[in-house]
Structure 1
Amino acid sequence: MCWIIARDYYLENFPYFLSMPPFPLFLTQTPRLLDEFLKGGAVMFPLLLLSILALTTALERGWFWSRLLIQEDRVVRDVLDAAVEDLAKARKIAEYAQHLAIGRFLLAPLKLRHPSPETFRLAMEATADKEFARMRRGDKLLETIIALAPLLGLLGTVTGLIRTFNNLNIGGGGSSAEATQAASGIGEALITTAAGMMVAIFALLVFRVLVSLQSQQMDYFAAVGSELELIYREVWYEPHHPMPNLLKTARIAEP
């Protein structure tokens, strides 16, 4: 029964199926895009490489930041809550989160055995410097792409214009066909400039987003580190290392 219904539906709509394009729209546009790419000349291939590098960096950094931003608040809350009652428990929670930058940052001082507050802070600062260096991974590559892509685009345009004007018979009063060919050549030469600018704009957007995230994380790490150090001082260090009574000491020292 179902087969009969499907057959009747197909026969009724057969003219519509014939009118549909044989391939999806993006597949029909692929040859045109390839032609435009090839018209840009040899410079388009380095620009393609730069675009792939920029996209790969964006995807890798996006994966890194998405994992960190989604999980770090929960890790910080669990570690700080546990640190008030048991440093060993807080250390275990931080160890479970070592795959995150914030987990390694919190674990560094908690691994120390009875550190002074100064040593506690230094451990966090040293680890923070390492983590910030990891967060900046890919920045130099993006900066290079931002600077190099427009220059490559201009180089392709200049070489294309030189080639076009060399083939143009200016002194002989070129025909309209030659003028049309020259205009077409100039248009093709400008393809590389447009491509270079698009690659540079994309890389610049990715770079600015990453710099903004890095700045936010530096402030966040500083706030979390200060809170953890305060807990360590008030709950674990000062009760076991009372400050000397300076007034009493001064009176004893009097003749």
Structure 2
Amino acid sequence: MGVIFDRIWFWSRVLLQERQILTSVMEAAYRNWDAAVQIARDYREHPIGRFLYTPLQLKDPEPEVFHLAMESAADDELALMRRGDKILEAVIALSPLLGLLGTVLGLINSLGSISISDLGTASTAGVTLGIGESLISTAVGLVVAIISLAFYRLFQAFFFGQVRIFRKAGSDLEVLYRQKWLESGEETASKASPPFSSSKKS
């Protein structure tokens, strides 16, 4: 339950602010690259903000370096988004087994307390009650596993949605940066080349 509540709190914060942050950064990148860097810096507490700010904070990197920085940031943020998944996987696998173990131990205890001569008599009434109680552990284990599996699948859906968003945002930002890189290179080349001039011989 602790993992489930922690993940619910995490995903609620991520999903509520993500669209606003992404739109703000990308719109600023179209107009003013420095403004996009500032906006991403302001949202460093959010996963998508940290993802975008990591390559943006570099000082005029080459496109390959920009791409590598973005990939590294995406790997780090997506790994943090899967925190708690291993615990839920363990609970899903172990809770039915623990419930079944409790049922088996309860049956052994109940059936071991009767003898053949007690069959068909009133003394076996407590045995049936013990068997019924022993089955409760299996039911509880299955309920825990079902609830954990439902939230695990929900968190997995959120995670794969983030993978698509990160990939799309990273591709768009990289395209913008490559255009900026090419334009700055062309401007540098035009300034470095001497203007064409002709002289007439007298």
TM-score under structure 2 length normalisation: 0.89
What are the within-5 Å matches in structure 2 for residues 176-187 of structure 1? 176-187=121-132
User: Which residue does 1:231 correspond to in 2?
Assistant: 176
- 3-state SS of 1:64 partner: helix
Pick from 203, 215, 224: which aligns with 2:160?
Answer: 215
CA–CA separation in structure 1 for the residues paired with 2:23 and 2:153: 29
- How many pairs does the alignment contain? 188
Which runs of structure 1 show a deviation greater than 4 angstroms over 4 or more consecutive aligned residues? none
Could you tell me which residue of structure 2 aligns to residue 240 of structure 1?
184
CA shift for structure 1 position 119: 1.0
Q: Helix, strand or coil for the counterpart of 2:185?
A: coil
2:138 maps to a residue whose letter is T
| CA–CA distance in structure 2, aligned partners of residues 206 and 162 of structure 1 | 34
Q: Distance in 2 between matches of 1:210 and 1:104?
A: 21
Q: What corresponds to 1:153 in structure 2?
A: 99
CA distance in 1, matches of 2:122, 2:183: 93
Q: How does 1:43-82 map to 2 (within 5 A)?
A: 55-82=1-28
Distance in 2 between residues matched to 1:78 and 1:174, nearest whole Å: 77
Cα distance in 1 for partners of 2:32, 2:61 equals 15
Identify the match of residue 162 of structure 1 among 108, 132, 139.
108
1:143, CA displacement in angstroms?
Answer: 0.5
Select the residue among 57, 61, 86 that pairs with 1:140: 86
- For 1:140 and 1:203, locate their aligned partners in 2 and report how far apart those are by CA, in whole Å: 12
Identity among equivalent positions (%) equals 44
1:83 partner amino acid: A
> How far 1:175 sits from its partner (Å)?
4.9
Counterpart amino acid of residue 86 in structure 2? K
TM-score (norm 1): 0.71
Residue in 1 that maps onto 2:196 = none
1:172-205 deviation line (CA, Å, top 9, x unaligned): 1435322221111110010000000001111111
Q: Work out the CA distance in 1 between the residues paired with 2:9 and 2:18.
A: 14
Question: Contact between 2:28 and 2:35, CA under 8 Å: does it hold in 1?
Answer: yes
Q: CA deviation at 1:88?
A: 1.9
- How far has the Cα of 1:63 moved from its partner? 0.8
**Equivalent residue of 1:115, what SS?**
coil
| Residue from 135, 139, 142 that aligns with 1:194 | 139
